[in-house]
Amino acid sequence: MFRITPMSDDGQTVHLKVEGRVVGDWVAELDQVCGSCLSQKKKVVLDFTEVTFMDRRGVNVLKGLLRERVQITGASLMIQALLGL
C-alpha cells in the first residue's frame, strides 16, 4: 500500500502525508508529486509518520528531494538513519 494525501496548501508550502512503503513504482509517484509542487515554487513538507519502509531507490530519490525545498517530518529512526538526518 502507498498513498499521498494533500493535507494543506497555503500557496507557499504544501503539506503531504505519505503512507505505506516507499518502494518500486511508488517512488516515481512521490518524485512526480513533489516535482510538480517544486515547479510551482512551493516548499514541500512530507509527513512520514505512516511510512513503514523505503527501498534503495526511495532513499536515493528522497536524498535528492531534500536538497530541494523538501522537508521530512515524523520519520522513524530507521528512515532518519537511511536518509542521514
Q: What is the CATH number of the domain that holds 28?
A: 3.30.750.24
Can you give the pTM of this predicted structure?
Answer: 0.91
For cell 507557499, the residue is 12
Q: How many domains does the structure of the chain reveal?
A: 1
Angstrom distance (rounded) from CA 13 to CA 41: 9
Q: Which residues of 9-18 are buried (b: 16+ CB within 10 A; e: fewer)?
A: eeeeebbbbb
Task: Count other Cβ atoms within 10 Å, centred on residue 2.
Answer: 16
Q: How confident is the model at residue 76 (pLDDT cuts 50, 70, 90)?
A: very high
pLDDT of residue 65: 94
In which domain, by residue range, is 60 found? 2-83
Average pLDDT score, the chain: 94
pLDDT of residue 85: 85
- Reply yes or no on whether the pLDDT at 60 is more than 90: yes
Residue range 26-30: mean pLDDT, rounded: 94
